[in-house]
Amino acid sequence: MLDKPLVRPQCVLDDDISTILVDEATIQQRVSEIGAAISQAYAGKDLVLVSVLKGSIIFMADLVRSITVPHEIDFMATSSYGAATSSSGVVRILKDLNVSIQGRNVLVVEDIIDSGHTLTYLLRLLSERQPASLRIVTLLDKPERRAVHIDVDWVGFSIPNEFVVGYGLDYNELYRNLPYIGVLKPSVYGE
Protein backbone atom coordinates (compact mmCIF):
# COMPACT_ATOMS: atom_id res chain seq x y z
CA MET A 1 0.00 0.00 0.00
CA LEU A 2 1.33 3.44 -0.90
CA ASP A 3 1.56 5.72 2.12
CA LYS A 4 1.73 9.53 2.09
CA PRO A 5 4.24 10.51 -0.65
CA LEU A 6 7.56 12.00 0.37
CA VAL A 7 7.51 15.80 0.44
CA ARG A 8 9.91 17.35 -2.13
CA PRO A 9 11.68 14.09 -3.12
CA GLN A 10 14.19 15.93 -5.36
CA CYS A 11 15.45 18.48 -2.83
CA VAL A 12 19.06 18.58 -1.64
CA LEU A 13 18.73 18.52 2.14
CA ASP A 14 21.95 20.47 2.79
CA ASP A 15 20.59 23.39 0.74
CA ASP A 16 17.88 23.94 3.37
CA ILE A 17 20.44 24.50 6.13
CA SER A 18 21.54 28.05 6.97
CA THR A 19 24.29 27.21 9.50
CA ILE A 20 25.98 24.08 10.77
CA LEU A 21 25.65 24.42 14.53
CA VAL A 22 27.55 21.25 15.52
CA ASP A 23 29.65 19.47 12.92
CA GLU A 24 30.06 15.72 12.57
CA ALA A 25 33.51 15.44 14.16
CA THR A 26 32.46 17.53 17.16
CA ILE A 27 29.39 15.36 17.69
CA GLN A 28 31.43 12.16 17.50
CA GLN A 29 34.00 13.49 19.97
CA ARG A 30 31.32 14.52 22.48
CA VAL A 31 29.43 11.24 22.12
CA SER A 32 32.67 9.37 22.91
CA GLU A 33 33.19 11.49 26.02
CA ILE A 34 29.64 10.90 27.23
CA GLY A 35 29.93 7.19 26.49
CA ALA A 36 33.07 7.02 28.64
CA ALA A 37 31.37 8.91 31.51
CA ILE A 38 28.32 6.61 31.34
CA SER A 39 30.56 3.53 31.28
CA GLN A 40 32.26 4.75 34.43
CA ALA A 41 28.98 5.60 36.18
CA TYR A 42 27.44 2.18 35.54
CA ALA A 43 30.51 -0.03 35.93
CA GLY A 44 29.44 -3.33 37.52
CA LYS A 45 25.73 -2.38 37.44
CA ASP A 46 22.75 -3.68 35.53
CA LEU A 47 21.75 -1.08 32.91
CA VAL A 48 18.90 -0.52 30.46
CA LEU A 49 19.08 2.29 27.92
CA VAL A 50 15.70 3.62 26.83
CA SER A 51 15.74 5.51 23.54
CA VAL A 52 12.86 7.90 22.95
CA LEU A 53 11.89 7.48 19.29
CA LYS A 54 12.36 8.63 16.70
CA GLY A 55 14.80 11.51 17.09
CA SER A 56 17.25 9.75 19.40
CA ILE A 57 18.02 6.76 17.18
CA ILE A 58 21.19 8.15 15.60
CA PHE A 59 22.54 9.37 18.95
CA MET A 60 21.54 6.06 20.56
CA ALA A 61 23.28 4.04 17.84
CA ASP A 62 26.54 5.96 18.29
CA LEU A 63 26.26 6.20 22.07
CA VAL A 64 25.83 2.46 22.69
CA ARG A 65 28.95 1.81 20.64
CA SER A 66 30.94 4.13 22.89
CA ILE A 67 29.60 2.55 26.09
CA THR A 68 31.89 -0.25 27.18
CA VAL A 69 29.78 -1.78 29.99
CA PRO A 70 27.13 -4.44 29.24
CA HIS A 71 23.61 -3.07 28.84
CA GLU A 72 20.23 -3.80 27.34
CA ILE A 73 18.42 -1.40 24.99
CA ASP A 74 14.73 -0.70 24.57
CA PHE A 75 12.57 1.93 22.89
CA MET A 76 9.60 4.13 23.66
CA ALA A 77 7.74 6.37 21.25
CA THR A 78 5.96 9.55 22.25
CA SER A 79 4.21 12.21 20.28
CA SER A 80 4.31 15.87 21.20
CA TYR A 81 5.00 18.13 18.26
CA GLY A 82 3.06 16.78 15.29
CA ALA A 83 4.05 18.92 12.30
CA ALA A 84 4.40 22.11 14.33
CA THR A 85 7.75 23.63 15.30
CA SER A 86 6.98 24.25 18.96
CA SER A 87 5.87 21.94 21.71
CA SER A 88 2.17 21.56 22.41
CA GLY A 89 2.74 20.27 25.94
CA VAL A 90 0.55 17.31 25.06
CA VAL A 91 2.37 13.97 25.30
CA ARG A 92 1.03 10.63 24.09
CA ILE A 93 2.69 7.22 24.40
CA LEU A 94 2.74 5.59 20.96
CA LYS A 95 4.98 2.66 21.93
CA ASP A 96 5.79 1.38 25.40
CA LEU A 97 8.80 -0.60 26.64
CA ASN A 98 9.08 -4.32 25.94
CA VAL A 99 11.11 -5.03 29.09
CA SER A 100 10.33 -4.61 32.77
CA ILE A 101 12.48 -1.95 34.45
CA GLN A 102 11.57 -2.74 38.05
CA GLY A 103 14.73 -2.76 40.19
CA ARG A 104 16.95 -1.88 37.21
CA ASN A 105 19.12 1.13 36.42
CA VAL A 106 17.45 3.03 33.60
CA LEU A 107 19.07 5.66 31.41
CA VAL A 108 16.69 7.59 29.16
CA VAL A 109 18.30 8.69 25.89
CA GLU A 110 16.89 11.80 24.20
CA ASP A 111 18.00 13.78 21.17
CA ILE A 112 16.73 17.13 22.47
CA ILE A 113 15.05 18.65 25.50
CA ASP A 114 12.99 21.67 24.62
CA SER A 115 10.02 22.55 26.86
CA GLY A 116 10.71 19.47 29.00
CA HIS A 117 7.11 18.25 28.79
CA THR A 118 7.99 14.94 27.09
CA LEU A 119 10.58 13.96 29.68
CA THR A 120 8.51 15.13 32.62
CA TYR A 121 5.71 12.86 31.51
CA LEU A 122 8.06 9.96 30.73
CA LEU A 123 9.96 10.22 33.99
CA ARG A 124 6.73 10.12 35.97
CA LEU A 125 5.55 7.08 34.03
CA LEU A 126 8.86 5.23 34.35
CA SER A 127 9.39 6.04 38.02
CA GLU A 128 6.01 4.47 38.84
CA ARG A 129 7.57 1.19 37.63
CA GLN A 130 10.13 1.41 40.45
CA PRO A 131 13.49 1.32 38.68
CA ALA A 132 16.59 1.19 40.91
CA SER A 133 17.67 4.49 39.32
CA LEU A 134 16.44 6.75 36.54
CA ARG A 135 18.82 9.11 34.78
CA ILE A 136 18.79 11.16 31.58
CA VAL A 137 21.22 11.74 28.76
CA THR A 138 20.39 14.15 25.95
CA LEU A 139 22.45 15.14 22.96
CA LEU A 140 20.98 18.64 22.81
CA ASP A 141 19.47 20.97 25.37
CA LYS A 142 17.61 24.20 24.64
CA PRO A 143 17.54 25.76 28.14
CA GLU A 144 15.84 28.97 26.90
CA ARG A 145 12.77 26.97 25.94
CA ARG A 146 12.30 25.10 29.21
CA ALA A 147 8.77 25.30 30.62
CA VAL A 148 9.25 22.71 33.40
CA HIS A 149 12.39 22.02 35.43
CA ILE A 150 14.27 18.79 34.70
CA ASP A 151 17.53 17.51 36.19
CA VAL A 152 19.57 16.22 33.28
CA ASP A 153 22.54 13.99 34.04
CA TRP A 154 24.49 14.27 30.77
CA VAL A 155 24.10 16.94 28.07
CA GLY A 156 25.96 16.83 24.77
CA PHE A 157 25.49 20.45 23.76
CA SER A 158 23.45 23.37 25.08
CA ILE A 159 22.17 25.23 22.06
CA PRO A 160 20.34 28.50 21.38
CA ASN A 161 16.67 28.63 20.52
CA GLU A 162 17.01 27.85 16.80
CA PHE A 163 15.09 25.30 14.75
CA VAL A 164 17.65 22.54 14.35
CA VAL A 165 17.61 19.37 12.30
CA GLY A 166 19.98 16.51 11.50
CA TYR A 167 21.62 13.66 13.43
CA GLY A 168 18.15 12.25 14.13
CA LEU A 169 16.21 15.49 14.43
CA ASP A 170 13.58 16.18 11.81
CA TYR A 171 11.31 18.75 10.29
CA ASN A 172 8.24 17.06 8.81
CA GLU A 173 10.11 13.71 9.10
CA LEU A 174 12.99 14.85 6.85
CA TYR A 175 16.65 15.77 7.57
CA ARG A 176 17.20 13.04 10.20
CA ASN A 177 19.98 11.54 8.05
CA LEU A 178 22.18 14.67 7.97
CA PRO A 179 25.38 13.79 9.89
CA TYR A 180 25.54 17.21 11.59
CA ILE A 181 23.20 19.49 13.58
CA GLY A 182 22.12 22.35 11.34
CA VAL A 183 19.80 25.33 11.59
CA LEU A 184 16.91 25.05 9.18
CA LYS A 185 16.32 28.03 6.89
CA PRO A 186 13.12 29.78 8.00
CA SER A 187 11.93 29.76 4.36
CA VAL A 188 11.60 25.96 4.62
CA TYR A 189 9.00 26.13 7.37
CA GLY A 190 7.30 29.17 5.93
CA GLU A 191 8.46 32.14 7.97
Residues forming the active site? 114
Helix, strand, coil content of the chain in percent (nearest 5):
25, 30, 45
Binding mask 103-142 for ligand PRP (x = CB under 6 A): -------xxxxxxxxx------------------------
Rounded CA gap, 75 and 51, in Å? 5
Residue 68: CB minimum distance to ligand PRP, A: 26
**Contacts with 106 (C-beta within 8 Å, 6 or more apart), sequence order:** 48, 50, 126, 131, 133, 134, 135
Residue with nearest beta carbon to ligand PRP: 55
170 touches ligand PRP by CB under 6 A: yes
Contact present, 171 and 187 (Cβ < 8 Å): no
152 is an interface residue for ligand PRP by CB under 6 A: no
Cα–Cα distance between 71 and 83 in angstroms, integer? Answer: 34
What is the three-class DSSP state of 145?
helix
Q: What is the x/- site pattern for ligand PRP, positions 14-53, by CB under 6 A?
A: --------------------------------------xx
Number of residues located near ligand PRP, criterion CB under 6 A: 19
Residue 16 or 111 with smaller CB distance to ligand PRP: 111
Residues in touch with ligand PRP (CB under 6 A): 52-55, 78-81, 87, 110-118, 170
